[in-house]
Amino acid sequence: MRVAAYERYGPPEVAAVAERPDPVPGAGEVRVRVHAASVGAADGAGRSGTPWFARLAFGLRAPRQQVLGSDFAGIVDAVGPGVTRFAAGDRVFGATGAAAGAHAELVVVAESGAIAPLPDEVPMADAAALCDGGLTALPFLRDGAGIRPGMRVLVNGASGSVGAAAVQLAKHFGAEVTATCGPAHVELVRGLGADRVIDRTREDFATGHDEFDVVFDAVGKSTFRRSRRVLAHGGTYLTTVPSFAILLQQLTSRFGSRRAVIMFTGLRKDADKAPDLEVLAALAGAGGLRPPIERIVPLEDIAEGYRLVDSGHKAGSVIVTPAGRAPAVASDDPTEAAA
């Protein structure tokens, strides 16, 4: 099978197409032909080996896993002994987590893993993008902030993959959503359903008082300290990006009037991710969740995908299509239209 592999940390060009033996599904495992996989922020950190602490996860001197990619969508093409949940031909999507390996024509996952059926209405590219942003935004809003109807939610970095999912999910939960982004993405974010969009180059969301029940810093570009003033009494600041300060504030703010929360959603158990995939699939299947996609690139253009990720300004997700176009699925799937 063809994969996008890298042997050393470095710029986007260290990732290139390579050949690997086809994996064989063992007992309880399914093999998926990958029609779409996201190239996300974690892949960018794994490829470059930055920031330094990424190497604690990806390998100190050189990458341990040579094939990156976690979020995938595709079609089951073989199952191992004892598999009952899936059969060849099923449309599925999911996340391989720390095992990575999704930037490949074939990926093997446990049927009890983070994998779920994909409704026909949801294009493959959208499904991979849902895992990229939705599988993070959902636990942050639901479990981290305890989101409820009527809450006032600010999403900082609303045009990124996590932020875009957060805007749509917060609206789904009945919140009133204010979203920030750069000038190029204002219309896109409005289209996601935000009640109010702030062009961050013209207005600083953190200058008000007592305006929000939740500040979700989806790109980690603000801080708890800066956001405290705009948070209402009992409000929650959520951030996706770790720092020494936020780890400390998470502990100390438990005793204060406003909470600081960081979560590591990629490290959640598969048993927690799988039902969330079903929630996202149901929402997307009903038309309530449509992730923006910055670009879809073929496997041989993986470096270009990484350049977009490294820019820090992609709108939504970058998708790579290892197995080429998907057969006989949702008609508006750009992975099919491209062929």
Ligand X SMILES: NC(=O)c1ccc[n+]([C@@H]2O[C@H](COP(=O)([O-])OP(=O)(O)OC[C@H]3O[C@@H](n4cnc5c(N)ncnc54)[C@H](OP(=O)(O)O)[C@@H]3O)[C@@H](O)[C@H]2O)c1
User: Tokens 């093999």 sit at which residue?
Assistant: 31
Closest distance to ligand X from the beta carbon of 37 (Å) = 14
Binding residues (CB under 6 A) for ligand X: these are: 40-42, 136, 156-157, 159-163, 181-182, 184-185, 200, 218-221, 240-241, 263-266, 312-315
Closest distance to ligand X from the beta carbon of 240 (Å) = 3
User: In this chain, which residue has its C-beta nearest to ligand X?
Assistant: 160
Q: Which is nearer to ligand X, 108 or 302 (CB)?
A: 302
| ∠ Cα 22 24 29 (to 5°) | 135
In 10 A of CB 244, how many CB atoms? 7
Q: Which is nearer to ligand X, 179 or 326 (CB)?
A: 179
Closest distance to ligand X from the beta carbon of 135 (Å) = 8
Closest distance to ligand X from the beta carbon of 208 (Å) = 17
Closest distance to ligand X from the beta carbon of 166 (Å) = 9
Q: Which is nearer to ligand X, 86 or 224 (CB)?
A: 224
Closest distance to ligand X from the beta carbon of 294 (Å) = 8
Q: Which is nearer to ligand X, 201 or 331 (CB)?
A: 201
First CA to last CA distance, the chain: 20
Closest distance to ligand X from the beta carbon of 156 (Å) = 5
Q: Which is nearer to ligand X, 140 or 173 (CB)?
A: 140
Q: Which is nearer to ligand X, 191 or 220 (CB)?
A: 220
Q: What is the 3-state secondary structure (H, E, C) of the chain?
A: CEEEECCCCCCHHHCEEEECCCCCCCCCEEEEEEEEEEECHHHHHHHHCCCCCHHHHHCCCCCCCCECCCEEEEEEEEECCCCCCCCCCCEEEEECHHHCCCCECEEEEECCCCEEECCCCCCHHHHHHHHHHHHHHHHHHHHHCCCCCCCEEEEECCCEHHHHHHHHHHHHCCCEEEEEECHHHHHHHHHCCCCEEEECCCCCHHHCCCCEEEEEECCCCCCHHHHHHHEEEEEEEEECCCCHHHHHHHHHHHHCCCEEEECCHHHCCHHHHHHHHHHHHHHHHCCCCCCCEEEEEEHHHHHHHHHHHHHCCCCEEEEEECCCCCCCCCCCCHHHHCC
Q: Which residues pair with 185 in a beta bridge?
A: none
Closest distance to ligand X from the beta carbon of 281 (Å) = 19
Q: Which is nearer to ligand X, 106 or 155 (CB)?
A: 155
Q: Which is nearer to ligand X, 30 or 169 (CB)?
A: 169
Closest distance to ligand X from the beta carbon of 238 (Å) = 9
Residue 306 has φ and ψ, to the nearest 5°, of: -65, -35
In 10 A of CB 337, how many CB atoms? 12
Q: Which is nearer to ligand X, 92 or 318 (CB)?
A: 318
